[in-house]
Structure 1
Amino acid sequence: MAFLLVISLSGCLWPAGADGVSDEGAGVVEGDGVTNASETDDTGPGADEVAEEDGGDEESIFDRRPERLIVELQVHRIEAPAGVFGEESPVWKIASAPIASAAADLRLRSNGFLAAVGRDSDRNDLLAFMESLPKPAIATDRVQPDSSKLVDIEIGEHKGTLTLFHFDESGSLRGLEVGQPRVRFRMRCEFRSLNLRDVWLEIMPELEEPPGAPKWVIGPDERARLVPQERRHTFKSVAFGVEVPKGGFLLLGATSEVYETPLLARPFFLAEAGETKDGVQRYRESVYVIRPIIRSVSLDAGREETPASEGESDGE
């Protein structure tokens, strides 16, 4: 299973080129077609005789056409035999930048999650590592959410009952038993940096059990209805935010402890792969590579314009 996530953020207006994208016609005009002082007398330029250094046809930055920025989140799920993506794996040396909050990183690790940020320059090394894996399985999917809402990245459905443990914000260990849960990440993305090529991601794990027995609920029309109970377990204490730089990516994985202890991260990254001849359970392990790609749409022409540096490698 896998997936490629696409988020369209509308209403983000910015002058083209103001965020570092080259604009050949950009410039600040210092005059208005006034005669050069060297072609007049020697009395010196007056207030209306300021020379133009670069010509009178250049655009002001205020004349540049507006554009709308669209964020696409490529979400790749890479699955390989157990132990390939543990803390000692080379993949965590490739994506080595920590997430912004040390407290959030500690909470993630205590619940079995690993998270790190990679840069644009790390992508070739990451691709080479993935190609070297034994029997890898890579998959993607696509969804278009609203920019103001959390979006669901479905990971799969587990059969039977899961018993899991997780640490909350106070550090208390809590137990949870869920039956046939659907496993997903909930995500949101937005621009927070002055550099609109950097994207802020918020990620939160969630488990959802099948609907419970119907119960009476008063609706907006003040009428009572029998509605199946929604049974979602959203782990806000494990939620975290991270800024991904232009061309970079977020890497999510699991600690080695999830093999020995049923921590919250286990169903997100481990999948049962049968048993050995000795009756020992085998697993396959996953990591997730989340890479924002920013495209621009000219509001004048109404067509999409993708910078070559970001659009050529969409299939990586």
Structure 2
Amino acid sequence: MGAGNLRFAAALLVLVVTAASSGATVCVAQLRRDYYAGVCPNVESIVRDAVAKKVRQTFITVGATVHLFFHDCFVEGCDASVMVASKGNSTAEKDHPNNLSLAGDGFDTVIKAKAAVDAVRQCRNKVSCADILTMATRDAIALAGGPSYAVELGRLDGLSSTASSVNGKLPAPFFNLDQLTKIFATNGLSQADMIVLSAAHTGGLAHCGTFSGRIRGPTAPDPTMNRSYAARLQAECPANVDPRVAVSMDAVTPVAFDNQFFKNLQSGMGLLASDQVLYSDPRSRPTVDAWARRAAAFNRAFVAAITKLGRVGVKTRAQGNIRRNCALLN
């Protein structure tokens, strides 16, 4: 082995050891921006066009796609296992109670983008659903006015999807700061990463049941909640919780991806208890204040954090494949 190859092997070993020591299941060695250059060079524009078309049809697409990406990466890593449909007596991830809030438009975005990619003969069955979801998430964010960034590609699709794998993997809407920090840390993400990624709640909808305890009950409204905002939510959400009713997670700029999320927290207008705690807890409040003031700094931090998230649980070689249908295991 030549000196150049020895240096490369040593660098690769350091990369793998560093990833393993982070506490997360991460394999980033195969990820690179030009991964499909030789097999499907126009894949990013194909996906972007499909996402743009879907967003024009319904703007719910933005929040739905971003939330789908988060739920996927947090369970078995970024492997599109959340896309798989239940079959027979086998209940898949998507049908776990903690995933039932995911809007169908996110799934539809990936399915349509996959169809557009496979419609190109050169690209057919060459691009993973996991990478399509990653690209679609980036494109949805940019289309909503958020930062545009380059994505790393090279993920394979997972070989299994079970509802039981979801247990304990996703943050709950009532989590406090310590619980949020701990569950993000299991994926190699810092507390600062957790806070900035929480801004994904600047888009999308939440069902009334996820915050009903904050607006009704013996101690309601939640003392950390803006009184006028609580009254508005009480008017929008029935006293007997209707699982079909959902409200915008960002009451000020519901169709824009921006740093308004942090400004809302400063005003007591975080919809979920797990969002508002980022401001009510003095340990995280300075970070919220900083990103509420500086949109450019927020954008940079968000791109860095979502890039780290996209490296979690990447499947390689025998660990995965490229699904012909994102909803079905090969």
TM-score normalised by structure 1 residue count: 0.26
More helix by share: 2
More strand by share: 1
